[in-house]
Amino acid sequence: MNLSILLWGIPQAMRLAARVYPDYAARLKERNLVVQFRLRDKPEGRWIKLDHGRIRSGRGIHESPDLVLEFKNRAIAESFLTPPIDLLVRIDGAKNFKVRLQGPDELAVWFLGALGRLESVTWKSGTDMGNGVVRYTSGTNGGPIFVYVKDGKILRTTPIDFDDQDAPSWSITARGKTFTPPRRTTLGAHGMCQKSMVYSKSRLLYPMKRVDFDPNGERNPQNRGKSEFVRISWDEALNLVASEIKRAKAVGPGAIAVDHGSHHQWGNLGHYLSAFNRFWNLVGVTKLMHSPDSWKGWFWTQSRRRHLEAGKGNARQWLSQRPPRTERLAHQSPLVNPAESHEPPGMHRSLRPALFFALDIALFMHRSLVKDV
């Protein structure tokens, strides 16, 4: 769809929704701001002004917008804004900086939420279970679940029980018998604790730092794990992180070491299949070898099982073989001494004991699981 039509249609859709749905009209009265939609490669766009719920809009570039939503070019803007919304296009735009949002985080979150509400204002979600209880579904990263909610509070979560409206399960017939899985989703342990995670007393709701940590003075690293924490603002937290990245980068191009887990609940940057690699590649870091858990454990054990079970050594001996490819890559890391390099790519020597332990545990688990198969 043509970009000019799309940008003209956004404020029209907001006006219409405000007329039809009182809740949406009330939301638009929460903030006063000017939002600029524009192209990065050309001075073209449209601005939208919200003033106590009233909507004004005009072509061109506003002289003092509060937020700027900038698209790399016209084609990206049109694919990003054309309904029906393709989430993969939006994810790609965010991950690869094809779309940029400039302005205060609080306003950005609010305005994008208001735009997103245009898509869902007519939706009715959840199943009425009676007595004020509504049942929703959630994917989680441990398996899909039912979530029972009353008065905005989670009552309980359960694996999803399938009924006749769901697709049939698979079945296998062998030796005169038919095998079919239970009509219920499979749920990992970390998927069963979602309610506890939401309402945990230990859940962090805002940035914090140690009371005796001064980035420009005494850092007191000896008090890690001992000192109390104090709440700080998001601006202070972001400035602190940025200054620490600059400080570490001054030491050397690979002075920052990063790693990630496998089962995530911590947003876009922390998820290694999202913006993680793009962001840290731009910064320049030494990436740690990921722990061999989940399906990675299967990769590790299968790739080395025959070598180890043939009596040719254990994990420590395998890592010390120094295959030529690994040796060449290790030499490129600023944290590894080439003359002593036995580690996988970018692996600091102090990390070897943890890696040995993890590999031995993975191999032990593999042998325990398959020995009777």
| Residue whose structure tokens are 């509060």 | 66
Rounded CA-CA distance 131/302 in Å is 52
Q: How big is the chain, counted in residues? A: 373
Task: Give residue 322's pLDDT.
Answer: 39
Task: Give residue 177's pLDDT.
Answer: 94
Task: Give residue 26's pLDDT.
Answer: 95
Task: Give residue 5's pLDDT.
Answer: 93
Provide the edge-to-edge strand list for the sheet that holds 133-138.
127-130, 133-138, 145-150, 153-159
Decide if 148 contacts 157 (C-beta within 8 A): yes
Task: Give residue 309's pLDDT.
Answer: 53
Q: Is the pTM value of this prediction over 0.85?
A: no
Q: What is the mean pLDDT of each run of 10 residues along the chain (373 residues)?
A: 91 94 94 96 93 95 95 92 83 87 90 88 88 92 90 94 90 93 87 89 91 93 93 93 92 86 63 75 83 52 52 49 36 34 39 41 40 35
Task: Give residue 28's pLDDT.
Answer: 95
φ, ψ for residue 149 (rounded to 5)?
Answer: -125, 140
Rounded CA-CA distance 132/148 in Å is 10
Q: What is the DSSP string of 22-55?
A: HHHHHHHTS--EEEEEEESSSS-EEEEEEETTEE
Task: Give residue 218's pLDDT.
Answer: 94
Task: Give residue 271's pLDDT.
Answer: 66
Task: Give residue 339's pLDDT.
Answer: 37
Angle at which helices 74-81 and 87-95 cross, to 10°: 140
Question: CA torsion, points 227, 230, 235, 240, in degrees to nearest 10?
Answer: -10
Phi-psi region of 225 (alpha: psi -120 to 50; beta: other; left: phi over 0): left
Task: Give residue 264's pLDDT.
Answer: 59
Decide if 157 contacts 143 (C-beta within 8 A): no
When computed from its CA atoms, the radius of gyration of the chain, rounded to whole angstroms, is 27
Here the tokens at position 342 are: 């036995």
Please name the residues in contact with 367: beta carbons below 8 A apart, sequence gap of 6 or more.
Answer: none
Task: Give residue 273's pLDDT.
Answer: 67
Decide if 48 contacts 38 (C-beta within 8 A): no
Question: CA torsion, points 186, 188, 192, 193, in degrees to nearest 10?
Answer: -170
Decide if 171 contacts 178 (C-beta within 8 A): yes
Task: Give residue 190's pLDDT.
Answer: 81
- Domains in the chain, CATH or no CATH each: 3-120 (3.30.1050.10), 127-199 (2.20.25.340), 208-250 (no CATH), 253-373 (no CATH)
Rounded CA-CA distance 233/245 in Å is 19
